[in-house]
């Protein structure tokens, strides 16, 4: 019984206003504000032309802010359209993570630019208006995951192009009930899209990050996130594609009582 849709964001005065593509939106509550982290792409602005490969557009995760989860979410950064990640990098899927009083943006440095995609983080100011890291820190490369396949070898194409490379997508950091720090992220493998998981050996964002050898969930599913129901039960939601059909959400139970996240059973809604 859907209502709406309702517009909750205002991009006035930013380059995102003319961006032709938006994706991977998240809302995080930090302090007294709600922050909307979304990825915007302006394909009319090419930051790098890689011969025989790809013209890299201006992609960034930009933050908007509101006093309510219903919005309106508006620009608040140091300058309108501020690039939290390096301008010359192809960056997507930024998520926010807090640790010991520090706030980080964890994001994807795209395989389309690097060939072997990476997961990186930068530290933000306490008011989230700007980046205070001197430079992003690379957490791991896609090829470090045993389940990750090379796109040409898998017969996959992106934007209609067959480009060699290994993909990083969609990070979300979490802690199990035992305090173990993990990360959900996605890539491509034998069963097409898959949900991977890795864990920090140090228990901090600095890692090192150790990849689980098997997918957390394969079967052409990924870009998942954990959330709690109103009753406090932990759930896992992913994109899933059956055959060549459209993407649809799948919901799973999940257990975080041990050192490692355990996938439960699929919920049929």
Quote the pLDDT of residue 233. Answer: 96
- In terms of CATH architecture, what is 15-225? 5 Propeller (2.115)
Which tokens is 52 given? Answer: 């025989």
Q: H helices of 129-247, where?
A: 151-154
Closest C-alpha among 91, 116, 118, 121 to residue 106: 121
Q: How many other C-beta atoms are found inside a 10 Å radius of the C-beta of residue 157? A: 11
Quote the pLDDT of residue 129. Answer: 98
Q: Low-confidence residues of the chain, pLDDT below 70?
A: none
Quote the pLDDT of residue 2. Answer: 85
Quote the pLDDT of residue 91. Answer: 97
DSSP single-letter state for residue 86: -
pTM for the full predicted model: 0.96
d(CA 63, CA 77): 7
Q: Give the three-class secondary structure for 209.
A: strand
Can you say whether residue 147 is alpha, beta or left, with left for phi > 0 and alpha for psi between -120 and 50 degrees? alpha
Quote the pLDDT of residue 1. Answer: 83
**DSSP run (H or E) holding 169:** strand 169-175
- The domain segmentation of the chain, as residue ranges, is 15-225
Quote the pLDDT of residue 269. Answer: 77
Burial classification of residue 179, based on how many CB atoms lie within 10 Å of its CB (0-12 exposed, 13-18 middle, 19 or more buried): exposed
Q: How many other C-beta atoms are found inside a 10 Å radius of the C-beta of residue 158? A: 15
Quote the pLDDT of residue 77. Answer: 96
Quote the pLDDT of residue 20. Answer: 81
């Amino acid at each position: 019984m859907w209502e709406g849709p309702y517009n909750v964001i205002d991009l006035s005065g930013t380059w995102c206003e003319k961006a032709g593509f938006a994706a991977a939106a998240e809302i995080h509550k930090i302090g007294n504000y709600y922050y909307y982290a979304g990825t915007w792409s302006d394909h009319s602005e090419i930051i790098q032309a890689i011969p025989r490969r790809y013209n890299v557009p201006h992609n960034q995760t930009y933050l908007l802010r509101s006093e309510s989860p219903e919005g309106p979410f508006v620009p608040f950064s140091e300058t309108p359209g501020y690039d939290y990640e390096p301008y010359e990098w192809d960056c997507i899927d930024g998520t926010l993570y807090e640790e010991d009083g520090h706030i980080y943006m964890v994001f994807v440095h795209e395989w389309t630019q690097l060939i072997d995609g990476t997961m990186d983080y930068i530290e933000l100011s306490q008011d989230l208006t700007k980046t205070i890291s001197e430079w992003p820190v690379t957490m791991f490369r896609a090829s470090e995951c045993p389940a990750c396949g090379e796109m040409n070898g898998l017969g996959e194409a992106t934007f209609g192009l067959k480009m060699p490379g290994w993909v990083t997508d969609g990070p979300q950091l979490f802690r199990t009930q035992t305090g173990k720090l993990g990360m959900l992220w996605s890539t491509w493998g034998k069963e097409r899209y898959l949900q991977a998981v890795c864990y920090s050996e140090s228990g901090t964002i600095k890692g090192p990050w150790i990849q689980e050898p098997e997918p957390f969930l394969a079967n052409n599913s990924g870009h998942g996130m954990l959330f709690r129901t109103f009753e406090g039960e932990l759930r896992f939601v992913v994109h899933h594609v059956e055959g060549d059909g459209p993407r649809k959400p799948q919901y799973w139970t999940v257990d975080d009582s041990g050192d490692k996240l355990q996938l439960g059973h699929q919920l049929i809604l």
